[in-house]
């Protein structure tokens, strides 16, 4: 039977493995990943392999369907099935477990959430108009929606914290702050990066600034940090706390068009004294079309918000127009770089 070995039998056989086949079914793979994440299947695989029947009994799911979904995800390398029909997690998929160090479960639940799924459905319309598919699906902008939808806000904030968690320390260790500096993390989410920065240098103080509902869920209540931080809820298009020696913008500018990014930078520039520093923590795209992991995020930005990933030249231009001079770009061991600019 054609294609049963996974090898094309003929140059025109459409069923052999190919990028086209893979992409055509890509949304099914994402949906299968979401299904096992929603039902916390991986949480039951921390202590060894289990059959689909066993996993289904433990998770209240339908065993024959679970078997088929796990078989699909095994083809993608997420699980491995042994000759007894028991499944185990691939080492790279341990992060699907709730209690794994650096768990990515909340990140998976965010990226595969209908918030993005419904937007993805409208990408062809985005391609025609350039407008974010999210706005066509929801009738409002992404961050306006989050202000009105507490459950989606919680899904997004938890997903961001999960996605950012494993990289905060890697970012923090890539930049040395001077003793006694005051660091203001603008759009700092639940405070993971501020936590890592304050933990590394005990003389620093910090402010976590984000929307009120987000800072209300901050994670900074830790003994080693006591008395060195406070939170402020607000809108970074209106005002940010003054008096920072350092302002940090991590994964903020990529959410916004140049016009809106300039408004955010303008607010910070008004609050920042000349000589104070701005650290933009974002991926830096290479010039041209060289493969880069940030292109996934770039298309999420295209369909959900009006932002995009940028090159070093584009960051330099943007910062210059807002009254900051880009001085250096420090690589980190992970995706984002630290772009250090000074208020002029
Ligand atoms: C992509 S997340 C980045 C969070 C965090 N910096 C990180 O890297 O994990 C964008 C953040 O911007 C915040 N944000 C969006 N619009 C805002 C506004 N108008 N004022 C303040 N914060 C805002 C969101 O609440 C969210 O926490």
**Distance from Cα 124 to the centre of ligand 1, integer Å:** 27
Please state the φ and ψ torsions of residue 254, each to the nearest 5 degrees.
-70, -15
Q: Which of 106, 194, 211, 220 most suits a substitution to test ligand 1, by most atoms within 8 Å of the C-beta?
A: 211
Length of the chain: 344
What does residue 207 show for φ and ψ, rounded to 5 degrees? -125, 130
Q: Kindly state whether residues 266 and 195 are assigned to the same domain.
A: yes
Same domain flag for 286 and 335: yes
Whether residue 320 lies inside any domain: the answer is yes
Catalytic positions: 254
Whose C-alpha lies nearest to ligand 1, atom 6?
Answer: 188
pLDDT tens for 108-167 read 999 999 999 999 999 999 999 999 999 999 999 999 999 999 999 999 999 999 999 999
Does any domain span residue 1?
A: no
Query: Does 6 reside within a domain?
Result: no
Co-location of 173 and 274 in the same domain: yes
| Structural domain of 181 | 117-343
Q: Distance between terminal CA atoms of the chain?
A: 70
| pLDDT over threshold 50, residue 1 | no
Q: Are residues 227 and 320 in the same domain?
A: yes
Q: Is residue 36 part of a domain?
A: yes
Site to probe by mutation for ligand 1, drawn from 252, 300, 301, 309 as the one with most ligand atoms within 8 Å of Cβ, is 252
Q: Which long-range contacts (CB under 8 A, 24 or more apart) does 266-269 make?
A: 266/322, 266/323, 267/236, 267/237, 267/238, 267/239, 267/240, 268/186, 268/236, 268/240, 268/322, 269/322, 269/323, 269/324, 269/343
Residue 11 inside a domain? The answer is no
Q: How far is the CA of 63 from the centre of ligand 1 (A)?
A: 40
Q: What CATH number should be reported for the domain holding residue 64?
A: 1.10.10.10
Which atom of ligand 1 sits closest to the CA of residue 213?
25
Q: Can you tell me the mean pLDDT for 161-178?
A: 95
Q: What is the largest CA-CA distance in the chain?
A: 72
Average of per-residue pLDDT across 83-92 = 96
| Closest C-alpha to 252, from 143, 131, 134, 91 | 143
Residue with the larger pLDDT of the pair 288 and 178: 178
Q: Is residue 109 part of a domain?
A: no
Mean pLDDT computed over 314-327: 98
Residue 18 is given by DSSP the state: -
The pTM is what?
A: 0.90
Q: How confident is the model at residue 289 (pLDDT cuts 50, 70, 90)?
A: confident
Residue at which a domain ends, from 99, 133, 153: 99
| Residue 158 belongs to domain with CATH number | 3.40.50.150
Number of domains present in the structure of the chain: 2
* pLDDT score for 291: 86
pLDDT tens digit string along 39-79?
A: 999 999 999 999 999 999 999 999 999 999 999 999 999 99
- Compute the mean pLDDT over every residue in the chain, rounded to the nearest whole number: 95
170 and 250 inside one domain: yes
For residues 124 and 252, state if they share a domain.
Answer: yes
Domain boundary among 99, 126, 157: 99
Q: How far is the CA of 229 from the centre of ligand 1 (A)?
A: 18
Residues 156 and 250 in one domain: yes
Query: Which residues line the pocket of ligand 1, CB cutoff 6 A?
Result: 143, 160, 164, 187-189, 210-211, 214, 235-237, 250-252, 255
pLDDT at 214: 96
């Amino acid at each position: 039977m054609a294609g049963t070995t996974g090898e094309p039998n003929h140059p025109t056989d459409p069923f052999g493995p190919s990028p086209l086949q893979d992409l055509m079914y890509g949304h099914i793979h994402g949906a299968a990943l979401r299904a096992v994440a929603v039902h916390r299947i991986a949480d039951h695989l921390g202590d060894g392999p289990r059959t689909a029947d066993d996993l289904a009994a433990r998770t209240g799911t339908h065993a024959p369907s679970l078997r088929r979904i796990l078989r699909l995800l095994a083809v993608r390398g997420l699980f491995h099935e042994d000759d007894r029909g028991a499944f185990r997690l691939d080492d790279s998929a341990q992060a699907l477990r709730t209690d794994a160090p650096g768990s990515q479960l909340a990140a998976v639940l965010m990226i595969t959430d209908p918030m993005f799924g419904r937007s993805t459905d409208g990408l062809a319309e985005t391609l025609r108009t350039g407008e974010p598919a999210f706005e066509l699906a929801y009738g409002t902008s992404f961050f306006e929606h989050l202000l009105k939808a507490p459950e989606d806000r919680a899904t997004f904030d938890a997903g961001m914290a999960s996605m950012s968690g494993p990289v905060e320390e890697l970012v923090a260790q890539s930049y040395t702050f001077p003793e006694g500096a005051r660091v203001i993390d603008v759009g700092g989410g639940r405070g993971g990066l501020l936590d890592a920065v304050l933990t590394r240098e005990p003389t620093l103080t910090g402010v976590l600034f984000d929307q009120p509902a987000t800072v209300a869920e901050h994670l900074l209540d830790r003994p080693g940090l006591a008395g060195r931080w406070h939170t402020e809820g607000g809108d970074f298009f209106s005002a940010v706390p003054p008096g920072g020696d350092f302002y940090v913008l991590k994964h903020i500018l990529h959410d916004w068009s140049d016009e809106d990014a300039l408004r955010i930078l303008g607010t910070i520039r008004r609050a920042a004294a000349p000589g104070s520093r701005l650290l933009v923590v974002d991926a830096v795209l290479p010039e041209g079309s060289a493969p880069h992991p940030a292109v996934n995020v770039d298309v999420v930005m295209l369909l959900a918000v009006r932002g995009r990933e940028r090159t070093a030249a584009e960051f330099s231009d943007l910062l210059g127009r807002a009254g900051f001079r880009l001085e250096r770009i420090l690589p980190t061991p992970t995706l984002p770089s630290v772009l250090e600019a000074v208020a002029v």
